[in-house]
Amino acid sequence: MKKSLWIILGVVLLLLGVFVWYKYYFVFGEGVKSGYLNYAMKKGYIFKTYEGKLIQEGFGRGKTGTITSYEFEFSVDDPEIFKQLETNSGKTFDLHYKEYNGALPWRGNTKFVVDKVVNMK
């Protein structure tokens, strides 16, 4: 009886660990987004994280023939990347990001984490 209880507990902990890994640490997707950097800031109550917003232009589903802007909100892990973004606000950036299935409070407010500046104009 005790042995089966320990086995069940071990399986439950293993499944919980796999769920947490998949939800918060598994990289669901990665890519590059381009646009004008609207803002880069450090914010948070307990965990101070780096956040930013990129404005992308393109044709959207707004009125026919008009240009609609899209917003890409992201978090940044690396303070050096944040400094580069902060000092060049308003410029055009190509940012490489990783998309996770969930956000962690110490990693940022979004599921998108920028890990590299590919290009800056």
Superfamily of domain 27-120: Nucleic acid-binding proteins (2.40.50.140)
Q: How many CB atoms sit inside 10 A of residue 28's CB? A: 11
pLDDT in tens, 37-70: 999 999 999 999 999 999 987 765 656 555 566 8
Contacts of 111 by beta carbon, 8 Å cutoff, 6+ apart: 28, 99, 100, 101, 102, 103
Every domain of the chain and the residues it spans: 27-120
d(CA 39, CA 89): 6
Average pLDDT for the chain: 90
d(CA 79, CA 114): 11
- Do the Cβ atoms of 27 and 93 come closer than 8 Å? no
- State residue 90's pLDDT score: 86
pTM, whole model, 2 decimals? 0.81
